[in-house]
Amino acid sequence: MVAKFIPKIRDKRRLTEELINLLPNEQRPTVDTALPIWWHNLRKTGGLRLTDQGCNLLVNQLDVKYYEFNIDDPTEFTQHTILDLDRKMQMPYYIHVVKGIPKKIILFGSQEAVVVHLYGNLQQFLDNYDP
């Protein structure tokens, strides 16, 4: 089964359950196994940042639509930016890092991606985004 969308669920445990249910029976991990493999922040109130394996799951196994944005100046992509993403993003996202330098961000929410594109700058979007 191929996922065409991700339901808008800010509850990471529930979202993980929904994603597991999209997998074939023989590939379904338990929720407790999937959580630390797919998500960076395991706290219930933590954000929806995906790990490499979580991003791979959505892109390659579940064929979820995604939107890429290059990080042109990594010096502007600060810890403050990561905290803002963690607090504000309502859909999963992935930060592609090469040798410790963030190169691009992948968003899995079309509404958020459109607004980021309209702003033309991730930090400006985050500064003005109030979900």
- Residue 120's pLDDT band (cuts 50, 70, 90): confident
Number of domains in the chain: 1
Q: How far apart are the first and last CA of the chain?
A: 31
pTM of the model: 0.88
> 55 or 14: whose pLDDT is higher?
55
Residue 112 and residue 89 in contact, taking contact as beta carbons nearer than 8 Å: yes
Q: Would the pLDDT of 85 be above 80?
A: yes
Examine residue 111 and state whether it is found in any structural domain, yes or no.
yes
CA gap 103, 96 in Å, rounded:
6
Examine residue 3 and state whether it is found in any structural domain, yes or no.
no
Examine residue 7 and state whether it is found in any structural domain, yes or no.
no
Instruction: Give the mean pLDDT of the chain.
Output: 89
Among the residue ranges 29-33, 62-66, 126-130, the one predicted with the least confidence is 126-130
DSSP string covering 42-76: -STTS--BB-HHHHHIIIIIS----EEEE-S-GGG
Examine residue 115 and state whether it is found in any structural domain, yes or no.
yes
Domain with 46, as residue range(s), is 12-128
Examine residue 6 and state whether it is found in any structural domain, yes or no.
no
Q: What is the pLDDT of residues 1-53, one digit of tens each?
A: 344 455 556 788 989 999 999 999 999 999 999 999 999 998 877 899 999 99
CA gap 108, 101 in Å, rounded:
21
